[in-house]
């Protein structure tokens, strides 16, 4: 998709701000804590949660493993 966007004839058609949603979603899916994402992008954690909660995927199993490791649970 980025290849298509960067090949647009009109250089003004793609602004850095247009990629903000992609950046935030990518960071959240990479496991960057909401507090850190909000600090970097200048939004409150509440805004990040409200706007991007549906964009975060595949984190439940990772979070379960972190909780289990912290509690020293073993299978």
Q: From CA 15, how far away is CA 62, in angstroms rounded?
A: 34
Q: What is the pLDDT of residue 40?
A: 97
Full pLDDT tens readout for the chain, 75 residues: 455 555 555 556 677 777 898 899 999 999 899 999 999 999 999 999 999 988 888 888 888 888 999 998 765
How is the chain classified by DSSP, letter by letter?
A: -HHHHHT-S-GGGS-GGGGHHHHHHHHHHTT--HHHHHHHHT--HHHHHHHHGGG--S-HHHHHHHHHHHTT---
């Amino acid at each position: 998709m980025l290849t298509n966007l960067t090949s647009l004839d009109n250089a003004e058609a793609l602004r850095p701000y247009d990629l903000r949603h992609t950046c935030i979603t990518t960071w959240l899916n990479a496991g960057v804590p909401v507090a850190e994402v909000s600090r970097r992008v200048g939004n409150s954690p509440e805004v990040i949660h409200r706007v991007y909660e549906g964009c975060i995927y595949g984190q439940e199993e990772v979070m379960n493993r972190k909780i289990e490791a912290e509690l020293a649970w073993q299978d």
